[in-house]
């Protein structure tokens, strides 16, 4: 079959250029990204095989294999997971079907030397391979199909997709033709170090085999058998005291496909009427697609350590869509239906606890340095909960931060109430398109005359939640633009002095 030559989608080319030039000092993460993809593929096959056991065939032990050939400068990462057909290869490796990509690229390209954390907001994934390789060959056979496909690219001139001459093994094999300055990634101990640093928690065995160099006289005649390198096992099932901060961090990088360090984490096991374990992370940097309606939720659902899905809206409300992690249930069935996931009582009960735990953790973080920077990034999203989640409204109001006419920093509603003037019964505010414009608004004049502090709301979401909330701890939220505003009872600068 003749190769089909296809150009990369324009935005893929820009991503490749950005990744190759900006992540050079961090390029060992290419292996983390490829191993993470392989792990996801194994997870998907394990779940699919619950209803279609024939997909596994005789190859039932899911694993990830890494082979290094120093003489040929080849590094191969292979999994026996779900695999991809021709259309999936083109869609997953040749295009970026995510809104907001162009805006992200414009922001990233404006930075002279690139920003690893900014790029991490986007997610590097497969394209990290081109940091170390000048040619990448992907052979794939989808589970249940007989045809294997070859995807080949140099990362510059597009890619070719063709039918492989022979039927290869199920899954995906990624072969990297390493650049001259990337030969360090063919060394056994270097590979072991990277795997243990970034991928030790991967639940599937990672097997490593390094072929001896032809001129290595001390090498054994036969290469050593592939050896398992990672500890494996589900990290969230271990006691918290046995997990280091570094292990938590790397698991977050894996599950969220992120570069930043988590701002907060929640790890607990519930026992009683329901039995489940949750390990959740709150990011420190806002994902670039946070406002994309098609953005997938970040909490992966497992049942008895078996991956089920990473697309369950019912596990987290929309206003906590940035939370990443895992929920592992002992009560759901492995063949749980989507209807049960969306509307079942078990999921609803778990969700209620997850939301409370996350908000409680944010309440603790709100007392620490760094919270205001977090709020600046995630506050507008959290405020969506003020009109969506009546049950947790009070919790959200307590962790919320707002601008006001009292200084240029942030304030809490409790702080505002403490500073209220004698005779002041309401919390006053105005809304607009920017804080700067609000500070110079003529609507503030009568409040200034009384020395009354006014909250300044400039997020579009504020127009939705303010009418819904109405009051805070018995104090009405009152817009200065309303005709019924009366400040005469407030003792302020223009009040007549009493004898």
Check residue 272 and report its DSSP letter: S
Do 68 and 191 contact (CB within 8 A), yes or no? Answer: yes
Assess whether pLDDT exceeds 70 at residue 248.
yes
Task: Report the SS3 class of residue 36.
Answer: helix
CA distances from 315 to 205, 342, 352, 357 (A): 29, 8, 9, 13
pLDDT at residue number 157:
78
Candidates 101, 62, 104; CA nearest to 79 is 62
Candidates 428, 347, 410; CA nearest to 374 is 410
Among positive and negative, which fits the CA dihedral 168, 169, 170, 175? negative
Residue-wise pLDDT tens digits, 127-162 = 889 989 999 999 999 999 999 999 999 888 788 999
The model's confidence at residue 167, banded by pLDDT at 50, 70 and 90, is: confident
Distance (Å, whole) CA 76 – CA 182? 14
Q: How many residues does the chain have?
A: 499
Distance (Å, whole) CA 247 – CA 283? 16
297 versus 170: the higher-pLDDT residue is 170
pTM of the model: 0.77
Residue-wise pLDDT tens digits, 6-50 = 877 766 777 777 777 666 567 888 998 899 899 999 999 999 998
125 versus 284: the higher-pLDDT residue is 284
Per DSSP bridges, beta strands 64-69 and 206-210 are parallel
Distance (Å, whole) CA 399 – CA 394? 9
Assess whether pLDDT exceeds 50 at residue 498.
no
Domains and CATH numbers, the chain: 4-233 (3.30.565.10), 240-372 (3.30.230.80), 401-499 (3.40.50.11260)
Do 427 and 477 contact (CB within 8 A), yes or no? Answer: yes
- Helix 29-51 / helix 245-256 crossing angle, nearest 10 deg: 70
pLDDT at residue number 97:
47
For a pLDDT cut of 70, what percent of the chain falls above it? 88
Distance (Å, whole) CA 9 – CA 301? 32
Per DSSP bridges, beta strands 4-6 and 159-163 are antiparallel
Distance (Å, whole) CA 189 – CA 195? 10
- State both tokens at 114: 């690139």
The model's confidence at residue 413, banded by pLDDT at 50, 70 and 90, is: very high
- State both tokens at 225: 């058998």
- What is the arithmetic mean of pLDDT over 77-96? 88
The model's confidence at residue 365, banded by pLDDT at 50, 70 and 90, is: very high
Assess whether pLDDT exceeds 80 at residue 350.
yes
- Helix 101-109 / helix 10-22 crossing angle, nearest 10 deg: 40
Distance (Å, whole) CA 496 – CA 280? 57
Residue-wise pLDDT tens digits, 443-486 = 898 889 889 999 999 999 999 999 999 899 999 999 998 888 88
pLDDT at residue number 497:
46
């Amino acid at each position: 079959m003749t190769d089909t030559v296809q150009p990369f989608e324009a935005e893929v080319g820009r991503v490749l250029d950005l990744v190759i030039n900006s992540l050079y000092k961090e390029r060992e993460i290419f292996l983390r990204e490829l191993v993470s993809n392989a792990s996801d593929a194994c997870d998907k096959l394990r779940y699919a095989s619950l209803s279609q056991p024939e997909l596994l065939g005789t190859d039932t032990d899911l694993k990830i294999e890494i082979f290094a050939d120093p003489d040929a400068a080849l590094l191969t990462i292979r999994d026996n997971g779900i695999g991809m057909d021709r259309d999936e290869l083109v869609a997953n490796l040749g295009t970026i079907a995510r809104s907001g990509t162009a805006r992200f690229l414009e922001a990233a390209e404006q930075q002279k030397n690139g920003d690893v954390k900014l790029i991490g907001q986007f997610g590097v994934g497969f394209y990290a391979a081109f940091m170390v390789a000048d040619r990448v060959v992907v052979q794939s056979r989808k589970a249940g199909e007989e045809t294997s496909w070859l995807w080949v690219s140099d990362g510059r001139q597009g890619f070719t997709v063709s039918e492989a001459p022979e039927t290869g093994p199920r899954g995906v094999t990624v072969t990297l033709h390493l650049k001259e300055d990337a030969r360090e990634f063919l060394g056994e101990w270097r590979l072991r170090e990277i795997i243990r640093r970034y991928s030790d928690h991967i639940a599937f065995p990672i097997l490593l085999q390094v072929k001896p160099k032809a001129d290595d006289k001390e090498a054994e005649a036969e290469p050593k058998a592939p050896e398992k390198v990672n500890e494996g096992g589900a990290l969230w099932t271990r006691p918290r005291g046995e997990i280091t901060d570094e292990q938590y961090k790397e698991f977050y990088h894996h599950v969220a496909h992120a570069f930043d360090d988590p701002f907060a984490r929640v790890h607990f096991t519930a026992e009683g009427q329901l039995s489940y374990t949750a390990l959740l992370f709150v990011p420190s940097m806002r994902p670039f697609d946070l406002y994309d309606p098609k953005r997938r939720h970040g909490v992966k659902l497992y049942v008895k350590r078996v991956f089920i899905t990473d697309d369950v809206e019912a596990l987290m409300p929309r206003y906590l869509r940035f939370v990443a992690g895992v929920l592992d249930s002992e009560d759901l069935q492995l063949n749980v239906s989507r209807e049960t996931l969306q509307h079942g009582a078990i999921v609803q009960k778990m969700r209620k606890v997850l939301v409370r735990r996350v908000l409680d953790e944010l309440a603790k973080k709100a007392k620490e340095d760094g919270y205001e920077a977090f709020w600046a990034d995630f506050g507008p999203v959290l405020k969506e909960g003020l009109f969506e989640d009546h049950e947790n409204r009070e919790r959200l109001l307590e962790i919320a931060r707002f601008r006001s006419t009292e200084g240029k920093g942030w304030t809490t509603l409790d702080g505002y109430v403490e500073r209220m003037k004698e005779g002041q019964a309401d919390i006053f505010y105005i809304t607009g398109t920017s804080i700067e414009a609000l500070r110079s608004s003529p609507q503030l004049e009568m409040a200034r005359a009384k020395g009354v502090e006014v909250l300044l709301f400039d997020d579009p979401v504020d127009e939705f939640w303010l009418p819904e909330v109405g009051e805070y701890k018995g104090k009405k939220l009152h817009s200065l633009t309303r005709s019924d505003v009366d400040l005469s009872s407030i003792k302020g600068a223009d009040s007549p002095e009493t004898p």
